[in-house]
Amino acid sequence: MIDRGGSEALDTCVHCGFCLQACPTFLATGDEADSPRGRIDLMRALETGELAPDDPALRLHLDRCLGCRGCEPVCPSGVGYGRGIEAARAMLATRRRPPALARAALRALTSPGPSRIVYALARMLRATGIPRRLAGWGRFRFAMGMLAATRPTRNAKRGTRNTRAAASSAFRVPTSALLFRGCVMDGLFSHVHDATVRTLGVNGWAVGETPGQVCCGALHAHAGLREEARLLARANVAAFGEGDVPIVVNSAGCGAMLKEYGHLIGAAGFAARVRDVTELLTAGGGPRPGAPVDVQVAYDPPCHLLHAQRIADEPLRVLGAIPVLRIVSLPDAAQCCGSAGLFTLLQPAMSRAVLAPKLASLRTAAPQVVATGNPGCVMQLGAGLAASGLSAAVRHPVELLDESYGAAGYYA
């Protein structure tokens, strides 16, 4: 049997068109070739040789796909579009390396040596407050807004030292969950890791650390670098070892990728252990209620949590455990924010076009906080809000629960 690399997931498409209104790039351009249905035609033509990998129109429309997978839940035929687009991009990558900017970003963000330096410098710059003052539109100013959005709030910093001590002491007792740290999350969002450990501890989970883990490989797979993604996947499987201890993830993109390891490298047992932090917090009727936090929150579900992992209710239940907190609904909450990993860097015009309607909805709803569970979404939304002059902060749902628990005295 011929290995088609995942393109067989597209075979069930019957061109019904249900995917069109769920596709943010089609809504932005109105071009059929920028829809899942149109791209499937292009991918089939690529696979059969009707279109060459260097065809400029083919590359344009496939490159403009966010990979948000918003088309999958609405598809009555069960088309695995996400696997199909990754297979097509892997085929394209054999003929043309990803752009130099993409390769540089991958090295800076995911390679252990360079990324440590990059993240250390980024945190130093972030601490000065300069990125927040420079935030705006345009590549540089938007990047500054993205960096500013990663800065922890004052409440999020509380108890960091104690959290790390608790995490290290977990080696000496049987652990009930192991934390996946990732690359961007560990480099710029360690405060979310701290909040994850604390809030899970309140809900009966002892969280342990796993040395030797690496980047999940999602950015590589999305760029068509499938072999690089497989190398990273094998390293993570080896690091976490065998067993049935859950692996807790607080990044939607990482979680979706780790749950694909069964397809990517045949590590179905590993994939079955992966749990989003909200899945663990809500297990057994949780999470435990905290103290009131008087804030109005708009929950914006990350695409790879809602569409790829099909996790919808759990984050809302986490927010619902915070007394007084009010959740406001957004009409387009299920639509992509335009971040999509490296997409915001490589396709800035399309990325901003996809972001625009979401910012318009947020301006109308006027929440004090936008909650979302993915680092790219935090950065994209944070930069967009700052550039638009909107004062709402962007935080992970676990950070809000952590604030509630801190106020309740659970960490004393």
pLDDT tens per residue, range 167-213: 333 333 338 999 999 999 999 999 999 999 999 999 999 999 999 99
Is a pLDDT exceeding 70 seen at residue 296?
Answer: yes
- What value does the mean pLDDT take over residues 379-395? 97
What SS3 state is found at 71?
helix
Torsion angle, CA of 297/302/305/310, rounded to 10 degrees? 80
> What is the band of 156 on the pLDDT scale with cuts at 50, 70, 90?
very low
- What value does the mean pLDDT take over residues 358-371? 96
What SS3 state is found at 299?
strand
CA distance 54 to 167: 50
Asked if the domains 7-93 and 286-408 are classified in one and the same CATH topology, the answer is: no
CA distance 10 to 38: 12
What's the pLDDT at 175? 82
User: pTM of the predicted model, to two decimals?
Assistant: 0.91
pLDDT tens per residue, range 32-71: 999 999 999 999 999 889 999 889 999 999 999 999 999 9
What's the pLDDT at 155? 58
The count of residues in the chain is: 412
- Can you give the residue ranges of every domain in the chain? 7-93, 286-408
**Which helix H or strand E contains 17, and what residues bound it?**
none
What's the pLDDT at 168? 35
What's the pLDDT at 164? 41
Lowest mean pLDDT among 40-54, 246-260, 289-303: 40-54
Torsion angle, CA of 20/26/32/35, rounded to 10 degrees? -60
The domain made up of 7-93 has a fold known as Fumarate Reductase Iron-sulfur Protein; Chain B, domain 2 (1.10.1060)
348 cis-preceded (ω within 30 degrees of 0): no
> What is the band of 8 on the pLDDT scale with cuts at 50, 70, 90?
confident
Per the model's pLDDT, the better-predicted residue between 352 and 155 turns out to be 352
- What value does the mean pLDDT take over residues 305-310? 96
Q: At which residue do the structure tokens 């914006």 appear?
A: 300
What's the pLDDT at 398? 98
> What is the band of 4 on the pLDDT scale with cuts at 50, 70, 90?
low
Is a pLDDT exceeding 90 seen at residue 96?
Answer: no
Q: Tokens for 169?
A: 């002491």
Question: Mean pLDDT in the chain?
Answer: 91
> What is the band of 160 on the pLDDT scale with cuts at 50, 70, 90?
very low
- What value does the mean pLDDT take over residues 339-345? 93
Comparing C-alpha atoms, which of 94, 95, 26 is closest to residue 65? 26
Question: How far is C-alpha 360 from the geometric centre of its chain's CA atoms?
Answer: 22
CA distance 142 to 344: 10
CATH of 286-408, one of 3.30.70, 3.40.30, 3.40.50, 1.20.140: 3.40.50
CA distance 249 to 98: 28
pLDDT tens per residue, range 211-238: 999 999 999 999 999 999 999 999 999 9
